[in-house]
Structures are given as C-alpha cells and as structure tokens.
Amino acid sequence: MALPAHVRLVEVGPRDGLQNEQRPVGVADKVRLVDDLTVAGLEYVEVGSFVSPAWVPQMAGSAEVFAGIRRQPGVVYAALTPNMKGFEAAMAAGVEEVAVFAAASEAFSRKNLNCSIAESLARFVPVLDAARARGVRVRGYVSCVLGCPYEGEVAPQQVAAVAGELFAMGCYEVSLGDTIGTGTAGKTRALFEVVGRAIPRERLAGHFHDTYGQALANVYASLLEGIAVFDSSVAGLGGCPYARGASGNVASEDVLYLLDGLGIHTGIELQALIAAGERICAVLGRDNGSRVARARRGA
Amino acid sequence: MALPAHVRLVEVGPRDGLQNEQRPVGVADKVRLVDDLTVAGLEYVEVGSFVSPAWVPQMAGSAEVFAGIRRQPGVVYAALTPNMKGFEAAMAAGVEEVAVFAAASEAFSRKNLNCSIAESLARFVPVLDAARARGVRVRGYVSCVLGCPYEGEVAPQQVAAVAGELFAMGCYEVSLGDTIGTGTAGKTRALFEVVGRAIPRERLAGHFHDTYGQALANVYASLLEGIAVFDSSVAGLGGCPYARGASGNVASEDVLYLLDGLGIHTGIELQALIAAGERICAVLGRDNGSRVARARRGA
C-alpha cells in the first residue's frame, strides 16, 4: 500500500494536552495558543471541552476561548461534548464540530467515565441526533485501543466493536487512542487491519502516546496501513496520568518532522509550530516535550 | 519481506555512550555496567576504546575495564581501535574483537578524524591486516549516513562507497550511523536499499540517534528492509554533541520494547536491562534517557 500523499494532523494540545497539565492556563494564553497553531497551518484544532468544571477544572473558560480566537478559513475548531448539556453549551458558544469519547476497555470506561461502555454509547445517541439535526459533524474517540492500565491487553475485536458502534451512530471519523502508549508497530498494524474491516480506513485516525517511546514507529506503521489522520499535541502537552513523569501525547512537531521527511503534505510549517510550542511551554513553566523542538533549540 | 526472527543488539553505552557524557566514570563503575548488561542478556558489548586519553579522556582505563569484567560465554566484548597503536594496546589487553570508524561525509571526517575519508580508510588497512593475521574480527562504522552537521544531506551512494570499502577491506559487518538523528523512515529504507546492493543486508547494522525522535521509526523501517542488527545505548547514554540538551543514541530499553512487541527474539531481559541503566544513571547523576525506563518507574 502506498503512503498517503496528504495527512491531516488533529491538534489536541489545547484540549487533551492542557487538560492533563498541572498548571492552569488562562483564557488569553489558550486563545493565543490556538491562533498560533492555525497560523502555523494546522487545519484542525481541538480547542476545548464542555464538561463540568468540577470534573475538569483546566477546561473552564472554553466558551470564552471560542469567543476569543481568530477563525481562519478552512480550519475546523472542535470541542469535546460528552453529553447533551455539554453539546448545548458548545452550540451556544458557536462551536461547529464536536467530539465524543468512549473506551475500548470496560474497566477504563467505569473508572474514567463512571459508566459501562454500553451506557457511554447510549449517552452519545442524543448528542449524535442533535448534531445531525443541526448539521454539526461529530468525531469519535476510542481510548485504550492497544492496552488498558487496569485490564492490560485489549482485543482488536473489542476496539472494532466500540469503534463500529460510534461509526454506525453517525461519527464521521473515529480516532483510535493508545492511551497508555504500550502499543508497538506490529500490534498497531494488526489493530487497523481488524478495525478496518468494520470502518473504512479513510474514516479512521491514529492517536498515539509516546510513554514507551513507540509513538512515531506506530505512526509510521499506521501510514503503511493507509491511515492518513493523526492526533498529536504541540510540545507533547499533557503528561501521562498512568505513569508519573512519563511522556503522554506524541508531539506534533515530531510527527510533522516524520511526515516532512516522508514527503507527505500537511500544509503545516515546522518552525512556526515549534514557536507555538515554545510559547505555551514558557507559560506552563515546563520543558518542551518535542524532541525536534529541543534539537532545534540546541543546534 | 518478513521481519527477522532474531535481532542482535550491539550495546554501545559503555563506549559511544560514556564517551559523550560530561561526567567521567571510574573503572569499577564501567566494569559493573558491562557486567550488568551481559547479565541482562546482551550478546555484544562495546566495552571501550583504545585511543589517546588526550583526545578522549572518558575512555582512559579501557584496558583496566577489560581486565575487570566477568566474561560470559558467547558474549562478544569489543573495543574501538582507530589505528595500529590502539590495535596493539587492545591486543595487549586481551580484546577479542575490534572496530574502526569512518565517516560518509568529507567535512565530518576532517573535523572529527582530522583526515579525509580516503586517508582514514588507508589508516585502517594495517589494522585490518593485523587483525586478520591474529584471527580477530573487525566491525566497521560509518557515521553521518543520513545527514552531516556540516554538509547537510549525504547521498546514499556516498555511504555505499565508504561502507563498501570497509567491507572489501575485511570488516565482517558495517554499522550505518545516523549521527545527528535527522534521518526519517523513508530515507532509512532508501539507504539500506542502496547500500544493500554493495553489501549483503545480513552484514549491515543500523545505528540510530533519537535527536529528532525518529530512532524507533527508523529501526522499524530497517526491520522492514531485513536489517537484523542494531546499535543502541542503555538509558540513552551519550548526548548529542551537535545539539546541546538533545537526545543522542537511541535507548536500548526502547528498542528492546519495540522488538519484544514485534515478537522478535533477542535473548535480553527488559527488567534487568532497565536496572543496568538506572544504576549507571545514578552514577552519572543524570536523568534516564529511556522512555521505557521512565514509564516503568512512574507506573
């Protein structure tokens, strides 16, 4: 299978990344981060989340962030909306695309979403229905696709079942997340092989964590399976809640460096992306999690 | 092409790694490191270097290290010997296998070895001759195979020419080193495609640096090209002299995690390898450069 000519990077730093950072970031810095990212050429940014601030304090102010950003033509600005209350708040804030989040592991679903997989999917039905009625596209996430912190191994067939339900429900794209970063290249290929029988591969995305250093090898393995959409986080924002001090989301800069090297078009300018990451790292007072950014800084 | 069933890891931490660490390590700690590595199952360890201590002070005491290690049956303990003086010192120290080091880039050769590529190769001829006469195997290194800090791009044909000369001269294996870590998966495959026409692939090894985070993707790309020998450094010992604060050698633990995940046999036990890395990092007072080690520590 030939490598895809174009890859879309879904930037999850402002949401998935900042949600897992210790230090809270104010609305102005979030707005600046989103704007920096779109200036760098990102065509899809997950801006925030409409959830109870009691559960996720880092995502308070998502409506204000949506109000503050300078919308670029052709860029999708999305938000996570786990339920109808969140969906309605997102619509009130002028959000044009939303996402829902399920798990492939029963134990992870219960610990993280406080409900079974089936209950979480049932909760998304009214969100998908309401979105369809308003012409709003919905992206689906499945977590723990290559391992669960509580259950260990997760069968690809189980991932295919959950992803297939999200797709059948109306999600136009399903992102498969290696939440704990234990996946390796061969298992990644096998996963897309199995899930690709339930959902067309052009409707699948890869979401890799670099906790065990495997993320870029997994991205390359996915490209070889025809996957052309990847989630990543500028500067590797967001640690790993399951291993203190370890890496979480793969850094967007490092994925882009790989794609540039492979001659795959993304429309993203590396130096501008690095600058966006350096700026938010200064705000957070944390080291930059992108190896490319660190190498360029030291060179 | 099917993935190899067995991969040999060439552990370069005690030599290539420690040589590039700021803090000097005493003989006893070097001996302990080498012994820890072979207990973990490494079958090939580059123990030290026989060069002038004026040039490489970190490698002083290599003879004492060779005298102190507990040799395990079936393990190769090698040393770098850039010239006849070093070769003779290595023989006096009871070294059984040696290595020579050339560059694929003319500028790098002049800056690092103080001579042209042709001159460096000519200097190896008596070493190879003497080694052959004594029945000592010689491994060859070529650096800058996917980029040079002074010249930028390096043509695969140029790498093939230098590697081919080392092979013709008698090196039983030639390791291709991405010294500055700028290589990406597609270029890695193209490199082995070209060099594989000059030297049988089972005589080639990959030596990747993780400066830009690409090392494991490059290892996976190499496996897809039938390469079954990789150099790596426990705990990612050895920084990158061309980018301050950036990563250098890929961590052995992270390569092993990938190989284990692919079901490729190495004979190495991950937990024991991690322990060896943690111990030497404590001696050096540095953070562990292996993501696997950090993830396991935090989990």
Domain range list for chain A? 8-296
Instruction: Collect all residues of chain B within an 8 Å Cβ-Cβ radius of residue A217.
Output: 216-217, 219-220, 258
Q: Could you tell me the fold of the domain covering B8-296?
A: TIM Barrel (3.20.20)
The shortest CB-CB distance from B213 to any of A212, A221, A291 is to A291
Instruction: Collect all residues of chain B within an 8 Å Cβ-Cβ radius of residue A294.
Output: 243, 245-247
Question: What pLDDT score was predicted for residue B184?
Answer: 98
pLDDT tier at A74 (50, 70, 90 boundaries)? Answer: very high
Model pLDDT for residues A4-33, shown as the tens digit of each residue:
999 999 999 999 999 999 899 999 999 999
Task: Return the residue of B nearest to A210 by Cα.
Answer: B291
Model pLDDT for residues B201-233, shown as the tens digit of each residue:
999 999 999 999 999 999 999 999 999 999 999
Contact A223, A198 (CB under 8 A): no
Q: Which of residues 242-271 of A touch B (CB under 8 A)?
A: 242-247, 251, 254, 257-258, 260-263
| Interchain contact, B211 vs A291, CB within 8 Å | yes
Model pLDDT for residues B125-158, shown as the tens digit of each residue:
999 999 999 999 999 999 999 999 999 999 999 9
d(C-alpha B131, C-alpha B204), whole Å: 20
Question: What pLDDT score was predicted for residue A1?
Answer: 66
CA distance A140 to chain B (A): 27
Task: Return the residue of B nearest to A264 by Cα.
Answer: B186
CA distance B73 to chain A (A): 32
d(C-alpha B254, C-alpha B270), whole Å: 9
| Interchain contact, B212 vs A254, CB within 8 Å | yes
CA angle A99/A100/A104 to nearest 5° reads 135
The shortest CB-CB distance from B258 to any of A217, A245, A262 is to A217
Question: Catalytic annotation on B171?
Answer: no
The share of chain B scoring above pLDDT 90, in percent, equals: 90
| Interchain contact, A210 vs B291, CB within 8 Å | yes
Task: Return the residue of A nearest to B245 by Cα.
Answer: A298
Give A74: exposed, middle or buried? Use CB within 10 Å, 0-12, 13-18, 19+. Answer: exposed
The shortest CB-CB distance from A212 to any of B185, B257, B262 is to B257
Residue A141 makes CB contacts below 8 A (sequence gap 6+) with: A99, A100, A101, A102, A174, A175, A177, A207
CA distance B7 to chain A (A): 16
pTM: 0.96
Instruction: Collect all residues of chain A within an 8 Å Cβ-Cβ radius of residue B239.
Output: none
pLDDT tier at A156 (50, 70, 90 boundaries)? Answer: very high
| Interchain contact, A294 vs B184, CB within 8 Å | no
Task: Return the residue of A nearest to B287 by Cα.
Answer: A245
The shortest CB-CB distance from A216 to any of B217, B295, B298 is to B217
pLDDT reading at B59 higher than 90: no
Using CA atoms of B74, B75, B81, B85 in order, give the dihedral in degrees to the nearest 10: -60
* Mean pLDDT score, A48-55: 87
Identify the three-state secondary structure at position B47: strand
Contact B136, B147 (CB under 8 A): no
Instruction: Please state, in angstroms and as integers, the Cα–Cα distance from residue B144 to each residue in A240, B152, B155, following that order.
Output: 34, 9, 10
Task: Return the residue of B nearest to A181 by Cα.
Answer: B295
The shortest CB-CB distance from A213 to any of B211, B245, B292 is to B292
Question: What pLDDT score was predicted for residue A87?
Answer: 97
In Å, how far from its chain's centre is CA A234?
A: 11
The share of chain A scoring above pLDDT 70, in percent, equals: 100
Model pLDDT for residues A197-252, shown as the tens digit of each residue:
999 999 999 999 999 999 999 999 999 999 999 999 999 999 778 777 778 999 99
A–B interface: beta-carbon pairs under 8 A: 129
Instruction: Collect all residues of chain A within an 8 Å Cβ-Cβ radius of residue B251.
Output: 213
Question: What pLDDT score was predicted for residue A59?
Answer: 80
pLDDT tier at B1 (50, 70, 90 boundaries)? Answer: low
Question: What pLDDT score was predicted for residue A60?
Answer: 84
| Interchain contact, B217 vs A220, CB within 8 Å | yes
Model pLDDT for residues A256-287, shown as the tens digit of each residue:
999 999 999 999 999 999 999 999 999 999 99
Buried b (16+ CB within 10 A) or exposed e, B189-214: bebbebbbebbebebbbbbbbbbbbb
B225 close to A (CB below 8 A): no
Instruction: Collect all residues of chain B within an 8 Å Cβ-Cβ radius of residue A185.
Output: 220, 258, 261-262
d(C-alpha A262, C-alpha B210), whole Å: 17
Residue A121 makes CB contacts below 8 A (sequence gap 6+) with: A102, A162, A165, A166, A169
Residue A234 makes CB contacts below 8 A (sequence gap 6+) with: A11, A13, A17, A33, A37, A251, A252, A253, A273, A276, A277, A280, A290
In Å, how far from its chain's centre is CA B2?
A: 25
The shortest CB-CB distance from B186 to any of A186, A243, A261 is to A261
- Give the residue, B52 or B285, on which the prediction is more confident: B285
| Interchain contact, B292 vs A244, CB within 8 Å | no
